[in-house]
Amino acid sequence: MAVSKQKKSEVVAKLEQAFKSAKSLVFVNFKGLSVGNTTQMRQALKNEGVSYTGSAFLSEKVP
């Protein structure tokens, strides 16, 4: 399903705010990670006070 231009704009605005306030940024590709492992990772990040934002359209390959 394609992501609308409005939704992309909202995600970009959210990321811009995160960039301005972040002490550091990490971009990763979790392709192939199971739902269980993803849940564990998110919980561990939350326990450490780390903000986690995921965006599927940002991880798509560009031809």
57 within 8 A of 11, measured Cβ to Cβ: yes
* 4-59 residue pLDDT tens: 888 888 888 888 888 888 888 777 777 788 989 988 988 898 898 887 776 655 54
What phi and psi, each to the nearest 5 degrees, are found at residue 35?
-60, -40
Does the pLDDT at position 61 exceed 70?
no
- For residue 5, report the phi and psi dihedrals to the nearest 5 degrees: -60, -40
Query: Domain segments of the chain: what residues?
Result: 5-59
Task: Report the helix count and the strand count for the chain, using DSSP H and E.
Answer: 2, 0
**Spatial CA neighbour of 12 closest among 52, 57, 45, 42:** 57
Which two three-digit tokens encode residue 44? Answer: 């561990």
Residue 54 confidence (pLDDT): 67
